[in-house]
A = this chain, B = another copy of it.
Amino acid sequence: MIPVVPGTPRKRPTIRDVAREAGVSYATVSRVLNGRDWVSPAAVRSVREAIARTGYTANPHARSLATGRSGSIAFLLTEPQHLLFEDPNFSVLLRGAAQALSDRSLTLILMIASTPAERSRAVAYLSGGHVDGVLLVSPHSGDPLLAQLVDAGVPIVACGRVLGYEQTISSVAADDRSGARSAVEHLIAAGCTRIATITGPPDMAGGVDRLQGYQDALTAHGLPLDPSRVEHGDWSRESGAAAMQTLLTRAPALDAVFAASDAMAAGALRVLRAAGRDVPGDVRVVGFDDSGLAATTEPPLTTVRHPLDRVADEMVRLLTDVIAGRTPLSITVPTSLVVRASSPAP
């Protein structure tokens, strides 16, 4: 065994070494590697054998330089740090994207751009063409970063529609509006009439659409839209707790709460317990996402399943289309209600 000197990487075989082994020109090796042009079966076989013998793997940088494709995709997170890691949603999406990219031999580059400095560095990097495209997580509509990326012509697919960029930025989203509607109709079917909601941020499609679905359900069943029963959050548990506190003082008669995320629902649960309200006895609670959280709260959450693994998969598929030059597109994936103890079936 050859001793390994740390810091002195072994000389790796190149395409020329393979060519010599196989007894062909290195252009031919490149052809069988890329499988585009015709190569005689005999040549293919001897090249494959030579590759196996030498342990050759292509140098991705040389390839990128020659093709102009980087072979990598950025997974870009722009939320302030504290929001990112509390909720398992982010991890599920990341996991799904890693999988889908790996299946296509693409590399996932993780970029976290929370601070202003990180953000401008990210824009420079992404606009610099270092990456074939970007997967954008939880975009806020007013974010200047969006405009910069769009201006630079960077292929983008967002998770959730990007308000104001519906025609320019491709996106994959849950059917937020009808998912929210079905959640609230479940509460109505259980006899609730004074249903409050904790919404997401108003500059995100998920925030707007889930509120809309809540209103749809009330309207469809002839229930009044009472603004004192609507409170905004930022998806986080803390914001859910704060919103619940406010709702409790402003609309103490409420008999149900629909929270636009499981994390906010978990915060609401805590506040309800502290206020001595039994869930689901006094107040029913429904969340959104069916994230890892939902099954572990006390009581476990009835929630709307947001299939983020599926979303991640579609995002990657769509991004490869966008990179190939196809026009922007929005994809909506269906949701479904998951019933647990925080609001059992009527």
Do residues B98 and A91 form an inter-chain contact, with CB atoms below 8 A? no
Residue numbers in B under 8 Å from A12 (CB-CB)? 128-129
User: A86 at interface (Cβ–Cβ under 8 A)?
Assistant: yes
User: A37 at interface (Cβ–Cβ under 8 A)?
Assistant: no
Q: Which listed residue, B86, B88, B99, touches A85 by the CB 8 Å rule?
A: B88
**Which of A61, A81, A323: most chain B Cβ within 10 A?**
A61
Chain A interface mostly = mixed
Do residues B7 and A323 form an inter-chain contact, with CB atoms below 8 A? yes
- State which of A105-113, A136-144, A253-261, A310-318 sits at the interface with chain B: A105-113
Do residues A86 and B88 form an inter-chain contact, with CB atoms below 8 A? yes
Do residues A298 and B298 form an inter-chain contact, with CB atoms below 8 A? yes
User: A26 at interface (Cβ–Cβ under 8 A)?
Assistant: no
Do residues B296 and A130 form an inter-chain contact, with CB atoms below 8 A? no
User: A10 at interface (Cβ–Cβ under 8 A)?
Assistant: yes
Do residues B108 and A109 form an inter-chain contact, with CB atoms below 8 A? yes
User: A284 at interface (Cβ–Cβ under 8 A)?
Assistant: no
Q: How many chain copies does the complex carry?
A: 2
Chain B residue at minimum C-beta to C-beta distance from A58: B128
User: A84 at interface (Cβ–Cβ under 8 A)?
Assistant: yes
Do residues A110 and B111 form an inter-chain contact, with CB atoms below 8 A? no
Q: How far is the CA of A9 from the CA of B70 in the complex (A)?
A: 13
Q: How far is the CA of A290 from the CA of B64 in the complex (A)?
A: 43
Do residues B81 and A98 form an inter-chain contact, with CB atoms below 8 A? no
Q: How far is the CA of A64 from the CA of B328 in the complex (A)?
A: 33
User: A275 at interface (Cβ–Cβ under 8 A)?
Assistant: no
Do residues A292 and B86 form an inter-chain contact, with CB atoms below 8 A? yes
User: A324 at interface (Cβ–Cβ under 8 A)?
Assistant: yes
A107 to chain B, nearest CB (A): 5
Do residues A6 and B95 form an inter-chain contact, with CB atoms below 8 A? no
Chain B residue at minimum C-beta to C-beta distance from A56: B128
Do residues A4 and B324 form an inter-chain contact, with CB atoms below 8 A? no
Do residues A128 and B298 form an inter-chain contact, with CB atoms below 8 A? no
Residue numbers in B under 8 Å from A8 (CB-CB)? 153, 325
User: A62 at interface (Cβ–Cβ under 8 A)?
Assistant: yes
**Which of A6, A108, A150: most chain B Cβ within 10 A?**
A6
Residue numbers in B under 8 Å from A90 (CB-CB)? 91
A162 to chain B, nearest CB (A): 16
Q: Chain A, 77-98, contact with B by CB distance < 8 Å: what is the 0/1 string?
A: 0000100111010111011001
Do residues A4 and B110 form an inter-chain contact, with CB atoms below 8 A? no
Residue numbers in B under 8 Å from A68 (CB-CB)? 9
Do residues B99 and A129 form an inter-chain contact, with CB atoms below 8 A? no
Using A12-B129, A128-B12 as known contacts, say yes or no to A98 and B112 having CB atoms under 8 A apart: yes
